[in-house]
Amino acid sequence: MIHLSLIGIGTGNPEHVTLAAVRALNQADLILLPRKGEAKSDLVDLRRLLCRNLLEVSSRTRIVEFDLPRRDACADYLSAVDDWHGAIAGVWAELMATHLPQGGRVGMLIWGDPSLYDSSLRIAERLKSFMQSAAGREGEVERRGDLQVEIVPGITSLQVLTAEHRIPLNALAEPVQITTGRRLRERGWPADAASVAVMLDSGGAFEALPPEGLYIWWGAYLGMDKQSLIHGWLADVAATIIERRAALREQHGWIMDVYLLARKPLMPGQSNSPTATEGV
């Protein structure tokens, strides 16, 4: 049996890692660290740092790094993602068969939390199929075809965004909708939503909305030492966010950002003046 722990590690601040995550790391026989290319080396560097700082001195946990397969950016999005997940599951299966041929506990460090716009749970389902197929071919279904998945929750980027801006996620007694930049561009403001949290935006999807009467709280590299925050009326700060985002992407080679939109400021007395800050 393989026991796979998908361990939420928050958004870049080691102090956001929970005690449950620390325990899961130290129980693992094998930790797999994905590399996403030189441009996103910060992400694997942070995972390496967490392993160095959180694994006990006596730990026998093995750490294995691997190159993450690339998604075909030219193909149909959903089909490309499905193929990409299959390729990643195949890499996971190969690594586990190589390093834990008799089974054991595997830890995967998941950015944020596995439940929110993360593919690790879906890839784990594909992994189960890979393992069962391989076990069936070898006549070892009982010994090698079993996968048990454990989820260790982590702090999400939305939690850090609202904490850093010192706001709630929703207006008083009102609903909030979490969506993607792609859907915001295609469908506009979601019906019946008083607040809209936007993730996975390739840049400036809010420009598809009429800006009048919309307030935005934006954050990039949340939880990291290069964190950047801007908030204000969308009509006043949209251009500033676009410029800041482009400059940060140019500086660091990658960017991870998220934002919350609402019809009005979510806290009484919040300044109507645009505000921008950098650094945690």
pLDDT digits (tens, 9 = 90+) for 226-253: 999 999 999 999 999 999 999 999 999 9
Q: What gap in Å lies between CA 114 and CA 205, rounded to an integer?
A: 24
Closest Cα to residue 109, out of 191, 186, 12, 175? 12
Q: What is the pLDDT of residue 137?
A: 59
pLDDT band at 40 (very low <50, low <70, confident <90, very high): confident
Q: What is the pLDDT of residue 71?
A: 87
* Structure tokens given for 3: 């026991």
Helical H runs in 153-254?
A: 157-165, 181-187, 234-252
pLDDT band at 143 (very low <50, low <70, confident <90, very high): very low
Do 114 and 8 meet the contact criterion of CB atoms below 8 Å apart? yes
Q: What is the pLDDT of residue 48?
A: 93
Q: What is the pLDDT of residues 168-213, one digit of tens each?
A: 998 888 889 999 999 999 999 998 899 999 999 999 999 999 999 9
Full-model pTM: 0.87
Q: Which residue has the tokens 């992400």?
A: 43
Sequence-separated (6 or more) residues with CB below 8 Å from residue 229: 164, 165, 217, 218, 219, 275, 276, 277, 278
Q: What is the pLDDT of residues 61-109, one digit of tens each?
A: 999 999 999 988 887 888 899 999 999 999 999 999 999 999 999 999 9
For the cut 80, the answer to whether the pLDDT of residue 274 exceeds it is no
Q: What gap in Å lies between CA 70 and CA 57, rounded to an integer?
A: 35
Please tell me what DSSP assigns to residue 8.
Answer: E
Residue 60 burial (C-beta neighbours within 10 Å; 0-12, 13-18, 19+): exposed
Q: What gap in Å lies between CA 207 and CA 184, rounded to an integer?
A: 10
- What are the counts of helices (DSSP H) followed by strands (DSSP E) for the chain? 8, 11
Instruction: Give the distance, in angstroms, between the CA of residue 169 and the centroid of all CA atoms in the same chain.
Output: 18
* Mean pLDDT along residues 204-227: 95
